[in-house]
C-alpha cells in the first residue's frame, strides 16, 4: 500500500484539477471525469469497447511478436559478427529516426487498407529498439567470460548458448519493454487505416462523429491503462531465473 498510495493520490489530484478546470471554464465540449466514466460505461454496455480492445491487442501482439522474431536473431548476429554490424548498423541508424506515421502511405501502397497495414506499422515501430538493445547487449559482454570459455575448449555453439545468450538476456528484455511500449504508443496512428475497429479508430471516429470528446478521452484512458498493464507484464520477465543475476534485489 505504501508503494501504491502515492500514485493513487497523484492520480486523484489530477482528476480533481481536471474537473475543477472544466467547471471554471464552463466548457461545453471538453468532458468532466464523470462524463468520461459514463462514456466508458456506454462503450462497455454495447460491447464495442471489448471488440476494440481485442482488435488493438491483436494488431499490437502480431506486430510485436513479428518484431521479436526478426529483431532478436538479427541483433545477436550483428553483435557477434563485426562484418554484419559494420554493414547493417548504418542502415538501421538511418531508418530508426523515421516516425512510424511517415510509413503510413507506404503501408497503404504495399498492403492496402486492412489489418496488415497496422501490423506492419507496429512492426516497424518496435523492431528498431530491440535490434539496438540486443546488439548493444552482445557488445557489452565482458571479454573475460568469452576467454574463460575458450580456455575450456568449448565449441562456438556452446559458447553462444551458455555464455552469450544468458549474458545478453537482460538487454533483450529492456529492448522488448521499449519495443512493446512504442508499439502500443503508435496504435492510434496505425489504426487510422484499419477496418473500423480498434481503440485508435474509436478515438478518431468519436472525434469525427459528433465531437464525442467523452469517448475520445475514454479511449485515451483505456489505452493508458492497458499500456500500464502490458509494461507490468513485461517486467515480470525480470524475475525469470535466467536473468535474476541482473535484476536480483
Residue 245 above 70 pLDDT? no
pLDDT of the residue at 6 = 81
May I ask the CATH class of domain 34-247? mainly alpha
Q: Which three cell numbers stand for residue 90?
A: 548504418
Q: Is 197 left (phi over 0), alpha (psi -120 to 50) or beta?
A: beta
pLDDT (tens digit, 9 = 90+) per residue, 10-42? 888 998 998 898 888 887 788 888 988 998 898
State how far the Cα of 119 lies from the Cα of 109, in Å rounded to an integer: 14
With cut-offs at 50, 70 and 90, classify the pLDDT of residue 160: confident
State how far the Cα of 185 lies from the Cα of 224, in Å rounded to an integer: 9
What's the pTM value of the predicted model, to 2 decimals? Answer: 0.85
Mean pLDDT of the chain: 85
pLDDT (tens digit, 9 = 90+) per residue, 80-109? 888 999 999 999 889 888 888 888 888 888
From 140, 131, 19, 152, select the one nearest 76 (Cα to Cα): 131
Instruction: Taking residues 214-223, report their average pLDDT.
Output: 90
Domain boundaries, the chain: 34-247
State how far the Cα of 20 lies from the Cα of 23, in Å rounded to an integer: 5
SS (H, E, C) 15-75: HHHHHHHHHHHCCCCCCCHHHHHHHHHHHHHHCHHHHHHHHHHHHHHHHHHHHHHHHHHHH
pLDDT of the residue at 71 = 93
Instruction: Taking residues 206-210, report their average pLDDT.
Output: 79
With cut-offs at 50, 70 and 90, classify the pLDDT of residue 194: low
Amino acid at each position: 500500500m505504501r508503494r501504491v498510495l502515492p500514485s493513487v493520490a497523484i492520480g486523484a489530484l489530477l482528476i480533481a484539477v481536471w474537473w475543477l478546470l472544466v467547471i471554471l471554464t464552463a466548457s461545453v465540449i471538453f468532458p468532466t471525469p464523470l462524463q468520461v466514466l459514463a462514456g466508458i460505461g456506454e462503450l462497455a454496455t454495447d460491447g464495442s469497447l471489448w471488440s476494440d480492445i481485442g482488435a488493438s491487442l491483436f494488431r499490437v501482439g502480431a506486430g510485436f511478436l513479428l518484431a521479436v522474431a526478426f529483431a532478436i536473431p538479427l541483433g545477436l548476429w550483428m553483435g557477434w559478427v563485426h562484418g554484419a554490424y559494420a554493414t547493417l548498423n548504418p542502415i538501421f541508424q538511418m531508418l530508426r529516426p523515421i516516425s512510424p506515421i511517415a510509413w503510413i502511405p507506404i503501408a497503404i501502397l504495399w498492403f492496402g487498407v486492412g489489418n496488415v497495414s497496422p501490423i506492419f506499422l507496429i512492426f516497424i515501430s518496435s523492431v528498431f529498439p530491440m535490434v539496438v538493445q540486443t546488439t548493444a547487449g552482445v557488445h557489452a559482454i565482458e571479454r573475460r567470460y568469452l576467454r574463460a570459455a575458450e580456455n575450456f575448449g568449448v565449441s562456438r555453439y556452446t559458447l553462444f548458448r551458455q555464455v552469450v545468450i544468458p549474458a545478453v538476456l537482460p538487454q533483450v528484455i529492456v529492448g522488448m519493454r521499449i519495443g512493446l511500449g512504442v508499439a502500443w504508443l503508435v496504435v492510434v496512428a496505425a489504426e487510422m487505416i484499419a477496418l473500423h475497429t480498434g481503440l485508435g479508430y474509436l478515438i478518431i471516429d468519436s472525434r469525427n462523429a459528433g465531437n464525442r470528446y467523452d469517448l475520445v478521452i475514454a479511449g485515451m484512458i483505456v489505452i493508458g491503462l492497458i499500456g500500464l498493464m502490458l509494461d507490468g507484464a513485461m517486467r515480470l520477465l525480470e524475475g525469470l531465473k535466467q536473468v535474476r543475476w541482473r535484476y536480483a534485489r
